[in-house]
Structure 1
């Protein structure tokens, strides 16, 4: 029998990275008896090692808890632990759409940061009841009154009733649960209406196939029902209905207002689009739920195995990862310098880093990653439009009328003393300043920036300038025309396709010079001079020369006539000229890796 609607609370936890939301989720599970002491581990809802190590949540998780409140009533609490990182913003928006309220966790020592803001605004858009929770109040650096003022000034939420907790020490956990019951409204929904359920998330289980997390909006979901996914247009038979506590528990049905999971013998995650509407085939809903959109890849790069013999292993590993992550796309590509590999698309830089790390760790692969690039829109002179994922595919310049690049709006929070360096960094990256305000002794800067200037190493530079104190969050704001050119790197007059990149004309010279200098240090000397050039079309914009190794051909001449030495040197000179013409330069793998890794320091 399903719990009455008045006794259900669906809520999510939103916070900036490392403000303690996963630890708070652990304590809530512990206090409500979701797991025994023996089964508890730190960050229960983070299943990947990489999530636990880096203290980030990559996949949104859900858990159903039963809590007996002080009024004696038992409530069903559905907790959604959402990712905090901007790359997963669409997943966050769907998780928030499945809830009626949110716990806003703010670190009492750090205060409000960039991602806190982004996720709070999303939460407010969904008309959520937001309960501020000040975490880590037992830290010596905690300043509760100052953070309460920040919440009121920046976000505009009354913070006088904020719940004070320390998730690590277990202080204030009961108060959090009481606040959820008292302040977050119960869900609405007609359990007799046609079925409408929102697909919140999905993941691959080797035993069950694809497990789909759903929030039932109206009607009921039962085992044996034949359902239809409205956006995908596919039909499936439900063979299991249940909830996570956080262990899997099977149920008879899921009714309106409840969150749980279903399985339907689906083999691939790509068949289950986040935000899709699920309804019954017979007498189903006619209109889908609002807010669905296809997830688009934003950043692209090539992945190549260091050892060409590992190509099949890489193909297999990427296919397995794709089973569990539908937002990651790939297609084959081959490069003259790096051999065969894959062109992969990611939601953002963190997503790229995670996939790369998982391939290295879980599948034991050594990889070369080409410089990340974004998607450019190319308008041809004949009116055709095409999207460019790979600099190597850029059409002939004569045929291009216009090129557009994606732009983002970035919000950066930083202590006042680092503001000058951060403003200079944004200006150097072609940024347009939109806003600068102060909250206490911290500055909030809003900038519009081209995404291709950010994908290289903007985040690392920002962290090093601010000694780790700046926080950065961004959203895409569309495409804008730009003066973009393709820069080729040529070694001994041969273009190296893996090092070609699309850059803004103003930045091309410094980027090209920097790349040539790096390659000069990395490529070993040969018996002939090697020119390294950066070129745009036929125009060389930077050049470095690796001098030849000297082989002493006159060593065998002891004394004798000088003409003998001249003759030998003349012969060597001709040989070197011939060698330069026909000789091939072998660029060691390490040089490629280093050149690509340090694609931009300037």
Structure 2
């Protein structure tokens, strides 16, 4: 039996032991080395060849990812790691760094409890570093820090040992400033990253080595030793003495929470139902014996298996052939296959328990954000709130008029697989409009429609959406009802900055019908007049 198959067998047992599970995401600015780092972890677990780690980019298995050298899709992998004599199951999600694919990062953060924030030692903290941190902290995902590409400071920038350490101090300070600005109040001090406690790792994903303070104490290695190894181009020895996968996964197990601990503080943020209900208690306790509560975070269209839904099981378990409800849909659905993911491979299993990430076929009407459950009237999970909205639009038409039905189906599949793509119809011209996060996002989507969906299309030049906004209070506008018996008076004025920020960051729900009292109270606390707050009937 190969090591990969052996790990899959071990994962079967570990999935049932909550204290031995870690669900983690790898997030960073583009080209800071996330996918190369993920390769190291997979190689350490025996999932790919150690010689190819850092070059194979196993989680960039999409054709366009390999051609462009960037991550486009969030990809999942499960691996087993031994720490202090015990084995642990690590469910890893590698996410995109390019700003156009930020929607995938937001959805991935709903599925994980901890995150490794990768920052390039040369470039330091970049705009997308701040964005991915905000996405993680909004979902109460705890971070640890990896300062990557340390070898470049020595071999390219020619910094000495002292200058190198000064650079590290600056990066850590900048990351902690961002964390303290965005972290939930109860974790303000607890979640800051510190060299002393080992929540900061230094290393080189490309050359497969890393170091942290606990490993310095254990091995006697110092930054001066590392400096000498890098300067002498002997990073192979360094990789043998300080294998990146071991240091990184030890840090994950030591510092990031298991699902049972994490769900106690995460569930009240992502689910607003009754915590004392049977399903509420099952989720707070991460109990596999309770009713099923699963949230879909991603849909992929597989040419052989059809629609594959990925999701985090928060309560109960999902099994092969199980009858389930998708909240908001009138009928029952029967699951076909249940699996765990390793890169592009789906490993079929009989069931996946609470606290784990599953891939499921058979949920035809599910979309990213759907709630899957065995309780017919379960309150759905809170909607996934994106940091940015689609800003670039193209007109799409089939090259051959006879392909129009195929185009409609392809656009439906695309918007299902990637909710960041918004498809609409121009009511005046009848043209199909496709909006995305940027030109690259639309370019990749166009490629998928042509090559994966098999529809030959023609697209227009991209146009940028501009929106009007309210700068100051307007004069009173008078309107009349159709029968001229009723007069309506409307005034428009901008909201207070604090209220806008609370809505954008998801602190105030946009479901007024369901959470009217809590919204009124929150708006009053932010300074809105009581009568005005009570009169709010919609937030958009």
TM, length-normalised to structure 1:
0.56
1:183-202: per-residue Cα shift (whole Å, max 9, x none)?
11111111222211111111
3-state SS of 2:16 partner: coil
Greater relative contact order (Cα < 8 A, sep 6+):
2
- How far did residue 226 of structure 1 move? 0.9
Following TM superposition, by how much is the alpha carbon of 1:125 offset from its aligned partner in structure 2, in angstroms? Answer: 3.0
What is residue 56 of structure 1 aligned with on the other side?
A: 70
2:366 to 272, 280, 283: 272
After TM superposition, the structure 1 = structure 2 runs for residues 97-176 of structure 1, keeping only pairs within 5 Å, are: 97-139=110-152, 140-141=156-157, 143=164, 145-153=166-174, 154-156=177-179, 157-160=192-195, 161=198, 162-172=200-210, 173=244, 174-176=246-248
Shift of 1:129: 2.7
Give the SS at the match of 1:190. coil
Instruction: Report if the CA contact (8 A) 1:299-1:345 is conserved.
Output: yes
Q: Provide Cα deviations, 1:178-217, integer angstroms capped at 9, x if missing partner.
A: 1111111111111222211111111111221211111111
Residue 29 (structure 1) aligned with residue 42 (structure 2): yes
Cα separation, partners in 2 of 1:115 and 1:75, compared to 1, 3 Å: same
3-state SS in 2 of match to 1:355: helix
2:465 aligned with 1:373? yes
CA contact (8 A) 1:242 1:251 kept: yes
Map 1:208-223 onto structure 2 (within 5 A): 208-223=305-320
258 and 370 in structure 1: CA distance in 2 versus 1, 3 angstrom threshold:
closer
Q: Deviations over 1:98-137 (max 9, x none)?
A: 2121101000111000111121123223333311001111
1:597 paired residue number:
none
Q: How many residues align?
A: 386
Superposed, which structure 2 residues align to 1:89-488 within 5 Å? 89-139=102-152, 140-141=156-157, 143=164, 145-153=166-174, 154-156=177-179, 157-160=192-195, 161=198, 162-172=200-210, 173=244, 174-188=246-260, 189-232=286-329, 234-246=331-343, 247-264=345-362, 266=364, 271-281=365-375, 286-292=378-384, 298-299=390-391, 301-303=393-395, 310-313=400-403, 316-317=406-407, 319-320=409-410, 322-326=412-416, 327=419, 328-331=421-424, 342-359=432-449, 367-369=459-461, 371-374=463-466, 382=479
- Partners of 2:386 and 2:166 lie apart in 1 by 43
Structure with the bigger percentage of helix: 2
Answer whether contact 1:100 1:185 (CA < 8 A) is retained: yes
Instruction: Tell me how far apart the structure 2 counterparts of residues 206 and 403 of structure 1 sit (CA, whole Å).
Output: 50
Map Cα deviations across residues 510-555 of structure 1 (whole Å, 9 max, x no partner).
xxxxxxxxxxxxxxxxxxxxxxxxxxxxxxxxxxxxxxxxxxxxxx
- For the 8 Å contact 1:87–1:351, the answer to whether it is kept is yes
1:247-277 deviation line (CA, Å, top 9, x unaligned)? 21111111111112111162xxxx3222222
Partners of 2:505 and 2:257 lie apart in 1 by 30
Q: Which residue number corresponds to residue 527 of structure 2?
A: none
Q: 1:294 to 1:117 in 2, by over 3 A?
A: closer
Does the residue aligned with 2:204 lie in a helix, a strand or coil?
A: coil
Q: Tell me if structure 2 keeps the 8 A contact 1:152–1:159.
A: no
Equivalent pair of 2:327/2:378 in contact (CA under 8 Å): no
Change (3 A) 1:280 1:22: same
**RMSD of equivalent CA atoms:** 4.0
Partner of 1:580: none
- Quick check: which one's strand share is greater? 1
Q: CA separation in 2, counterparts of 1:280 and 1:39? A: 43
DSSP 3-state at the match of 1:212: strand
1: distance between equivalents of 2:332 and 2:96?
30
Residues 330-384 of structure 1, C-alpha deviations (whole Å, 9 max, x = no match): 4556999xxx853223344442233245456766655432533356699998589
* Larger deviation, residues 190-199 vs 10-19: 190-199
Contact persistence 2:106–2:386 (CA under 8 A): no
Distance 1:382 1:351, change over 3 A: farther
1:435 corresponding residue in structure 2: none
Q: Flag structure 1 segments of 5+ consecutive residues without an equivalent.
A: 385-400, 410-447, 449-473, 477-602
**Is this contact kept in 1: 2:100–2:441, CA < 8 A?**
yes
Structure 2 counterpart SS, 1:203: strand
* Structure 1 residues 42-92: Cα deviation after superposition (integer angstroms, max 9, x where no partner): 3222233322333332222111111122x1211110001123344444442
What do the CA deviations read for 1:486-514 (whole angstroms, capped 9, x no partner)? xxxxxxxxxxxxxxxxxxxxxxxxxxxxx
- CA distance in 1 between counterparts of 2:410 and 2:399 reads 19
Q: 1-side partners of 2:435 and 2:350: how far apart? A: 40
Q: 1:91 to 1:304 in 2, by over 3 A?
A: closer
User: 8 Å contact 1:203–1:324 — kept in the other structure?
Assistant: no
Give the direction of change, closer, same or farther, for the CA distance of 1:30–1:350 in structure 2 (3 Å limit).
same
**Alignment check: 8 A CA contact 2:292 2:317 kept:** yes
